[in-house]
Amino acid sequence: MANWEQINFQNSTSPLMEQFIFLHDFIMTLLMLIISLVFYIIINIISNSFVTTKTKDNHELEVLWTFLPGLVLIMIAFPSLRLLYMSEENKQNNMNIKVIGHQWYWSYEYSDFKHLEFDSFMTNIDNTNHFRLLDTDNHTTVPEKTPIQLFTTSADVLHSWAIPNLGIKTDSVPGRLNSINIFCIKPGLFFGQCSEICGTNHSFMPIVLDVRPLNIFKTWITHFLNS
């Protein structure tokens, strides 16, 4: 979960988010090298006391400063496209969950289990035992290390289901199903919020993903269906 004055990404809990962080660090390294080079050239020019009135040509230098930026863009483009395809890739999944956005709460339907569906509302702001504006009365419980496919849609207006720890964000569009794959590598509570400006109470429809070991998840399923 994010905290005050945090400037970096949240800790990753999925392989995809780890790759996003690696790509970010790689691009930032390239940017720092370029910025350092530009500052060095500017300082060198300012501190140089020699003045020339002649214009000189250097075709090799012009080819070099045209080729190098293109090479840098290629170095950024290939891993970016790889991550884009990875995030949209559809694989064989062990679970399917349907997420429906409402004004202003979420509904969840576990397609692989009969009669397993519930609504998820934000907890009362006055409840000091929960995280303010982030916790919900019903958590979205999933097993760890299990490929899961989420289908998102909306019952009214545009919403967006997003959890930064997983590196996922998918729009919930009325009359349309969008899908996204998640794979959690460790248990825990992971928080997100609707990332689409969907109305006056847009900021009051949080998401809580409760990732549990498989045996504890089975116990939760049995308890929920028997209650």
pLDDT of residue 141: 92
pLDDT of residue 197: 87
pLDDT of residue 54: 67
Statement: 95-226 belongs to CATH 2.80.10.50: no
pLDDT of residue 58: 77
pLDDT of residue 1: 67
Does residue 99 register a pLDDT over 90?
A: yes
Confidence of residue 102 (pLDDT cuts 50, 70, 90): very high
Enter the tokens of residue 117.
């569906």
Does residue 208 register a pLDDT over 90?
A: yes
Does residue 3 register a pLDDT over 80?
A: no
pLDDT of residue 161: 93
> Domain boundaries in the chain?
15-49+56-88, 95-226
pLDDT of residue 202: 85
Q: What is the pLDDT of residues 86-97, one digit of tens each?
A: 877 777 778 899
Does residue 35 register a pLDDT over 70?
A: yes
Q: What is the pLDDT of residues 160-200, one digit of tens each?
A: 999 988 988 999 999 998 988 888 999 999 999 998 888 88
Enter the tokens of residue 15.
């392989």
pLDDT of residue 55: 65
Q: What is the mean pLDDT of the chain?
A: 87
